[in-house]
Amino acid sequence: MAIEGTSEKRERRIRLGMVGGGSGAFIGAVHRIAARIDDHYELVAGALSSTPEKAESSGRELGLDPSRVYSDFKQMAIREAKLKDGIEAVAIVTPNHVHYAAAKEFLKRGIHVICDKPLTSTLGDAKKLKKAADESDALFVLTHNYTGYPMVRQAREMVANGEIGAVRLVQMEYPQDWLTENIEQSGQKQAAWRTDPARSGAGGSTGDIGTHAYNLGAFVSGLELEELAADLDSFVDGRQLDDNAHVMMRFKAKDGERAKGLLWCSQVAPGHENGLMVRVYGTKGGLEWTQKDPNYLWYTPFGEPKRLLTRAGAGAGAAANRVSRIPSGHPEGYLEGFANIYTEAARAIFAKRKGEKIDPAVTYPTIDDGMKGMVFVDACVQSSKRNGAWVKV
Amino acid sequence: MAIEGTSEKRERRIRLGMVGGGSGAFIGAVHRIAARIDDHYELVAGALSSTPEKAESSGRELGLDPSRVYSDFKQMAIREAKLKDGIEAVAIVTPNHVHYAAAKEFLKRGIHVICDKPLTSTLGDAKKLKKAADESDALFVLTHNYTGYPMVRQAREMVANGEIGAVRLVQMEYPQDWLTENIEQSGQKQAAWRTDPARSGAGGSTGDIGTHAYNLGAFVSGLELEELAADLDSFVDGRQLDDNAHVMMRFKAKDGERAKGLLWCSQVAPGHENGLMVRVYGTKGGLEWTQKDPNYLWYTPFGEPKRLLTRAGAGAGAAANRVSRIPSGHPEGYLEGFANIYTEAARAIFAKRKGEKIDPAVTYPTIDDGMKGMVFVDACVQSSKRNGAWVKV
Amino acid sequence: MAIEGTSEKRERRIRLGMVGGGSGAFIGAVHRIAARIDDHYELVAGALSSTPEKAESSGRELGLDPSRVYSDFKQMAIREAKLKDGIEAVAIVTPNHVHYAAAKEFLKRGIHVICDKPLTSTLGDAKKLKKAADESDALFVLTHNYTGYPMVRQAREMVANGEIGAVRLVQMEYPQDWLTENIEQSGQKQAAWRTDPARSGAGGSTGDIGTHAYNLGAFVSGLELEELAADLDSFVDGRQLDDNAHVMMRFKAKDGERAKGLLWCSQVAPGHENGLMVRVYGTKGGLEWTQKDPNYLWYTPFGEPKRLLTRAGAGAGAAANRVSRIPSGHPEGYLEGFANIYTEAARAIFAKRKGEKIDPAVTYPTIDDGMKGMVFVDACVQSSKRNGAWVKV
Amino acid sequence: MAIEGTSEKRERRIRLGMVGGGSGAFIGAVHRIAARIDDHYELVAGALSSTPEKAESSGRELGLDPSRVYSDFKQMAIREAKLKDGIEAVAIVTPNHVHYAAAKEFLKRGIHVICDKPLTSTLGDAKKLKKAADESDALFVLTHNYTGYPMVRQAREMVANGEIGAVRLVQMEYPQDWLTENIEQSGQKQAAWRTDPARSGAGGSTGDIGTHAYNLGAFVSGLELEELAADLDSFVDGRQLDDNAHVMMRFKAKDGERAKGLLWCSQVAPGHENGLMVRVYGTKGGLEWTQKDPNYLWYTPFGEPKRLLTRAGAGAGAAANRVSRIPSGHPEGYLEGFANIYTEAARAIFAKRKGEKIDPAVTYPTIDDGMKGMVFVDACVQSSKRNGAWVKV
């Protein structure tokens, strides 16, 4: 297992900066924990808030050198790029509409970007960001963190190895219940920006969690979406963005075999906290994974009893084991999965440092995965506007 | 609890006939067990097969009086209607395409009909059967047996009582895996007729199991379907009827609140035996039930911990308790649920016998539920032919 | 599958009598349903209560011929034995202290006895009943009904086939919560006799449910108990019999391999309805079964992923399939398991009728299993009185 | 939630040393991750191995200053105590028999000790360590890490608040399967020292995992053990220490109410990875927690439906929330639980630094918990040697 200090030669830590993630932000703290778990990063600079006082106090809380606390990400990019020991990578954890503007400043200066999802708030921004990333020599890593769970990797590897035959069905869901009532109007900060088109973009639940479910389905199945038909709703009075989506999907044929999918994402389904689930069925077997039980993967070879594969346990393969830390039966969770994305990125960054080829086993979500997510949201919105007509992607 | 002989005054057993269900038929045997469990029926006549020898041997096996073994259901209807102690009710358990022809012969002679689902093989037949049922004084009972599970009744009662508020979402699924490969061409009898349009009708998985899932969603939610958009597939080469269906639904607004639904039925999802599940979410809570754990119902009042309601346990209400037999923690299953339909029908038949009003608590699927199922299948097929366009029902 | 009318040649129904089980009795109704499910029995006589009026009204409710309704079981045994079409078998469903007196009257007249458990209320009665059963040509069947669950049979068969190697551990538990408070003093009838030494015998929870758990562990493992150490409690003030028991067990070595066990039974464990569970571990694998999910059996070959075997599904063997009725994924429950004991008994009775050898596959609990249960309870009580010292059995 | 940088004022990181935990050691790496997750520690020195070359290479891998890499813990204690920026705390992660010798060197120099469990390899050592800890002003923290799981804290708080009434039963189990075969003789390093009395002490499974289960039961229930009766086995030929234990327990009466318990620990139960579970039942309700699903806690108020409490979800209280990092539905796991012990220790160390009183909410296992574990193992071994007689503790 990839326990730090044991299985891999130790590299000098990556100097990391952060944009967004000041006091009180949930996802910034998650990124920092994820960066620390395997000890490949050192946070040394930050534009943690655009409000100078908050940027300063947040920097102090995190123990940053005051000379490397910024209130403007552009300034940070310019200055850090010039420092001898300036940052090598930056984590962007702002609301969606800032992603593009921030990322391009670092990419153009050769600083690797680790960016929260969805890629941007608009498809236009996404295309520009794709261009910026393609033109840069720096890496672009999107934190579709659920692909970091070991048993998700196990599932992907099994599908790729043909263990369930040709894939016919990909069923994805991500129900939540936290927006069942109109909390955005009573000052809940997380709810406020996520339901605001200006900050989130055209998709509500589709952008926030639907992209995760879709990314997971695509990651595990290895399939490309061809077209979709979507029915979106805003069940809560006054809500501007969708809070529930039903999506039918048709994937591109692979080896002559077509596949279909269903995706349900919801923020108004009482009883669901973060009920992400993916189920894939092929000609020879089925696989089921749910975030509620992330260390387990159900595998059913057709005509045989169901088998429960466990993280680091009997039946776990190379793809899962390289991102596992502790023995089977001791659960790893969300933060470890998130850390796996950071650690995979670190492995790529270490290779770049040394001018070596990145190990093909290194797996993290890229700018292209981000583009696919944006196209998915856009297609959902278009289809729903056209009464659920099929939209090619 | 409604244990026989204890909670209700004992009535004379109902004399029952059966059409179909000869040796080797699965569902005929199920109906007979269901009829016996609460001891309200006595099987006394049968047209168990249209092949005279088989009808005869099947009758002998079941211990029927040879004079009441028929090879023609019409003959049986005519003769039994004239006998002094002729049958009062008949169970029709043939393949779908025979339902109408058989049912009308009994209905027109005042013999109650207990008919397997789906109602018929064509929408045309269904309309004629509806007419026949409406014109008859006899009862028509459709064995949508899953509505007989106590915790399904519990769910329906809770929705009706407003315990989850206004319903927004109804998610239904019924995945199986037994048709993952082309077993209909290798002589599997159950597969052969179920994949044959002439005997099953226009719907494959939609007719066989999709109707069950839809019926269950409608039963629990109390909602009426307004329109649907469907994407049907026959994944297995050479199969004529659908073996997988994705359906998006819009329900009629109720008290000004609209609701949506998703339905997935499949016969090609390895790992699923009979994975019937219904989940309903409203403005104030959610409910989840799955056939795999039929004695349990998950209930989540929004903002509170999930609660696990159990059959005959704390929190079980009148609707569930009247169809429970044994203490909580001792599982009741499929046959008991099926028996509940028979027993509810018996209660109605007893009332008819005595010219009394049927107790409004008596609940069984009717000809109208059957019509809705046929309309659902037809709409699925129409929508899918029109590339998933919305079809009003 | 053993669906009636399909897999076995039909025999004339067994004429059955019943002692106990009048109106309001829970277990009598269960026995009657169990006897009806596979249609091998016909209830024709009864001494349903020792109170003549209640015996009469109960008989009427069940539709018995008034001439065959008795208020005295001895009278019934004498008369029925003389009738040309007298009963061939009797079900004894009284409180425990009546079992012996009733059973001996039927056994000595060659009438098969199907008796509820535990065998008797005292070890002395048990020995006398054992003698009576051994001297009679009639069958004695004890309704340790949980051994009728198909997946329990599957587990037993797998152990016998060596699929888990030599058994080392047998962990049994049967927690309930219904006696958490002192309901026996507020008139709950079931609680009153079960906590009364005069009617139940020396064991409370040990006799009522501990015997079931022990029987199940022995049935599945195929092991014989050698000695036990027990710590019994009556947690509820004023309760005379144990309501919780902790028992350590040592089994007789088999093929040179010793095995140990733990048994916990409780009536004061809030949250448990009828939480019967058995887990068996050997040198090569493990098996786990719980009544909450009776259609499933977990099987772990050592060093491989866990497998979930399902009733009538892939991996189910002959022992389970012969007592299954319906396809996998449609749950069978407690009543079907109970019915399996009745049906196995019927198979034995049919063989006796014809003077044939009983098929060795026929499996039901015998007088010897009943004796073992009595010895278990007695040993628990003795050990606990001696402060948990080991007691040989 | 206690997300770093948000909910608490930031303190200067604690300078940490480590004894043991060189390359290839599992638990050392776990301690380092746990120390990093909330960023309260900085590893600056180590006696990572007693083999100088391995100590040096391990130190290099972890990026330690070579001048602070030692191969002798005593040397390290002496020198670090004199350094101006010497370590403030040390993590001891060696095999059990080294704990005492190492810990006393740091304690006597005022360096806080964070020590792996069990406390020592012998009861004699434990008593000496207890004395050393009592005489030192430094803190002694034992990493009974399972008490760091938020829902374990939730359970403890609920019991303390009387939500299940007076506790009657505490059922503990910790089954594993990794020692089902004799892997200690084929060179598996972890197995070798854990089955060796010289390095592990008198208890095998009892010391390694039984102490965890017992600690958890005591932590949640708040009860003190009075006496126990144990039956220990070494099922695998040639094994010197127990690999399975059955233990009956009697707790000291509390408020006049007595309580009993059962404990099962095993290393030979195929199918179990790290199946730690605790179940507590009282006069008013029950609680169940299992490591397999660590973010959930089942709570049954007697006579009401079961409720599923979730980490950071509805129903989670202050004790759980202060050790939660991320929203409900995103699983936290073993490493986060382990980190909670480190973070609680950090809070205590921060208070000591400033001469402030330690917040009474700070909760971590102490030297006394360690003593109780040693006494438990000793009592198990004594009882088993005396054929399971009750042994007072």
**Nearest CA distance, D237 vs chain A (angstrom):** 24
pLDDT digits (tens, 9 = 90+) for B83-130: 999 999 999 999 999 999 999 999 999 999 999 999 999 999 999 999
Within-domain flag for D339: no
pLDDT category, A2, cuts 50, 70, 90? very low
Within-domain flag for D288: yes
Q: Which residue has the higher pLDDT, D121 or C26?
A: D121
Contact D20, D94 (CB under 8 A): yes
Residue A351, burial from CB neighbour count under 10 angstroms (0-12, 13-18, 19+):
middle
pLDDT digits (tens, 9 = 90+) for B343-376: 999 999 999 999 999 999 999 999 999 999 999 9
Q: Is the pLDDT of residue B222 over 50?
A: yes
| Residue in B closest to A175 by C-alpha | B281
Q: Over range A108-134, report the average pLDDT.
A: 96
pLDDT category, B187, cuts 50, 70, 90? confident
pLDDT category, B190, cuts 50, 70, 90? confident
Q: Is the pLDDT of residue D5 over 70?
A: no
Chain B residues near residue D306 by CB distance under 8 angstroms: 307-308, 310
Residue C259 sits in the same domain as residue C128: no
Q: Which of B3, B328, B331 sits opposite C294 (nearest CB)?
A: B331
**Nearest CA distance, B313 vs chain D (angstrom):** 8
**Nearest CA distance, A299 vs chain D (angstrom):** 16
Residue D73 sits in the same domain as residue D222: no
Within-domain flag for C381: yes
Q: Over range C93-103, report the average pLDDT.
A: 95
- Measured CA distances, D265 to B123, B267, B349, D125, D333 (Å): 63, 43, 59, 24, 22
CATH number reported for the structural domain that contains residue A57 in this entry: 3.40.50.720
Which chains reach chain B with 3 or more Cβ–Cβ distances below 8 angstroms? A, C, D
> What is residue C44's predicted lDDT score, i.e. its pLDDT?
97
**Nearest CA distance, D139 vs chain A (angstrom):** 25
Chain A residues near residue C308 by CB distance under 8 angstroms: 305-308
Q: Over range C100-122, report the average pLDDT.
A: 96
Within-domain flag for D205: yes
Containing structural domain, residue C134:
14-142
Q: Is the pLDDT of residue C4 over 50?
A: no
Q: Is the pLDDT of residue A1 over 50?
A: no
Q: Over range A229-250, report the average pLDDT.
A: 97
pLDDT digits (tens, 9 = 90+) for C193-211: 889 999 888 999 999 999 9
Chain C residues near residue B32 by CB distance under 8 angstroms: 4-5, 39
> What is residue A189's predicted lDDT score, i.e. its pLDDT?
83
pLDDT digits (tens, 9 = 90+) for A323-356: 999 999 999 999 999 999 999 999 999 999 999 9
Q: Is the pLDDT of residue D119 over 90?
A: yes
Looking at the structure of chain C, the number of domains it has is 2
Residue C39 sits in the same domain as residue C62: yes
Work out the angle at residue D210's Cα, subtended by the Cα atoms of residues D208 and D215, and round it to the nearest 5 degrees: 110
Residue D209 sits in the same domain as residue D271: yes
D169–C229 CB contact, under 8 Å: no
C61–B10 CB contact, under 8 Å: yes
pLDDT digits (tens, 9 = 90+) for D333-378: 999 999 999 999 999 999 999 999 999 999 999 999 999 999 999 9
Residue D261 sits in the same domain as residue D196: yes
**Nearest CA distance, C299 vs chain A (angstrom):** 10
- Residues 164-203, chain A: which have Cβ within 8 Å of D? 176
* Residue where a domain stops, chosen among C142, C157, C179: C142
Residue C128 sits in the same domain as residue C209: no
Residue B90 sits in the same domain as residue B197: no
Residue A112 sits in the same domain as residue A151: no
Q: Which residue has the higher pLDDT, D200 or C275?
A: C275
Within-domain flag for C8: no
Q: Over range C113-137, report the average pLDDT.
A: 96
Residue B81 sits in the same domain as residue B154: no
Residue D169 sits in the same domain as residue D253: yes
C291–B38 CB contact, under 8 Å: no
Q: Which of C5, C332, C333 sits opposite B62 (nearest CB)?
A: C5
Q: What is the ipTM of this complex?
A: 0.94
Lowest mean pLDDT among A25-29, B375-379, C232-236, C247-251: A25-29
Q: Is the pLDDT of residue A385 over 60?
A: yes
Residue D227 sits in the same domain as residue D251: yes
pLDDT category, D17, cuts 50, 70, 90? very high
Within-domain flag for A349: no
> What is residue C8's predicted lDDT score, i.e. its pLDDT?
52
CATH number reported for the structural domain that contains residue B153 in this entry: 3.30.360.10
pLDDT category, B284, cuts 50, 70, 90? very high
Within-domain flag for C49: yes
Within-domain flag for A100: yes
Chain A residues near residue C314 by CB distance under 8 angstroms: 303-305
Q: Is the pLDDT of residue B1 over 60?
A: no
Q: Over range D278-291, report the average pLDDT.
A: 98
Q: Is the pLDDT of residue D35 over 60?
A: yes
Q: Is the pLDDT of residue C25 over 80?
A: no
Q: Which of B248, B298, B389 sits opposite A246 (nearest CB)?
A: B248
Average pLDDT of chain B is 94
* Residue where a domain stops, chosen among C142, C173, C206: C142
> What is residue A7's predicted lDDT score, i.e. its pLDDT?
46
- Residues 135-164, chain A: which have Cβ within 8 Å of D? none
A6–D13 CB contact, under 8 Å: no
| Residue in C closest to B313 by C-alpha | C273
> What is residue B255's predicted lDDT score, i.e. its pLDDT?
84
- Residues 261-320, chain D: which have Cβ within 8 Å of B? 299, 303-310, 313-315
> What is residue C6's predicted lDDT score, i.e. its pLDDT?
39
D269–C262 CB contact, under 8 Å: no
Chain D residues near residue C262 by CB distance under 8 angstroms: 246, 262, 264
> What is residue C9's predicted lDDT score, i.e. its pLDDT?
62
Average pLDDT of chain D is 94
Q: Is the pLDDT of residue D6 over 50?
A: no
B33–C4 CB contact, under 8 Å: yes
Q: Which of A303, A305, A309 sits opposite C308 (nearest CB)?
A: A305
Contact B300, D314 (CB under 8 A): no
* Residue where a domain stops, chosen among D98, D116, D142: D142
Q: How far apart are CA B130 and CA B212, in angstroms?
A: 19
Residue C136 sits in the same domain as residue C107: yes
Chain C residues near residue D258 by CB distance under 8 angstroms: 233
DSSP reduced 3-state for D143: coil
Mapping DSSP onto H, E and C, the string for chain C reads CCCCCCCCCCCCCEEEEEECCCCCCHHHHHHHHHHHHCCCEEEEEEECCCCHHHHHHHHHHCCCCHHHECCCHHHHHHHHHHCCCCCCEEEECCCHHHHHHHHHHHHCCCCEEEECCCCCCCHHHHHHHHHHHHHCCCCEEECCHHHHCHHHHHHHHHHHCCCCCCEEEEEEEEECCCCCCCHHHHCCHHHHHHCCHHHHCCCCHHHHHHHHHHHHHHHHHCCCEEEEEEEEECCCCCCCCCCEEEEEEEEEEECCEEEEEEEEEECCCCCCCCCCEEEEEECCEEEEEECCCCCEEEEEECCCCEEEEECCCCCCCHHHHCCCCCCCCCCCCHHHHHHHHHHHHHHHHHHHHCCCCCCCCCCCCCHHHHHHHHHHHHHHHHHHHCCCCCEEC
Q: How far apart are CA D1 and CA A33, in angstroms?
A: 14
pLDDT digits (tens, 9 = 90+) for D217-233: 999 999 999 999 999 99
pLDDT digits (tens, 9 = 90+) for A260-314: 999 999 999 999 999 999 999 999 999 999 999 999 999 999 999 999 999 999 9
What are the DSSP calls for D17-66, one per residue? Answer: EEES--TT-HHHHHHHHHHHHTT-EEEEEEE--SSHHHHHHHHHHTT--G
Question: What percent of chain C has a predicted confidence (pLDDT) above 90?
Answer: 90
CB pairs under 8 A between A and D: 144
> What is residue D8's predicted lDDT score, i.e. its pLDDT?
53
Test mutation, D288, D296, D306, D310, chain B, max B CBs within 10 A: D306
| Residue in A closest to C307 by C-alpha | A307
Which chains reach chain C with 3 or more Cβ–Cβ distances below 8 angstroms? A, B, D
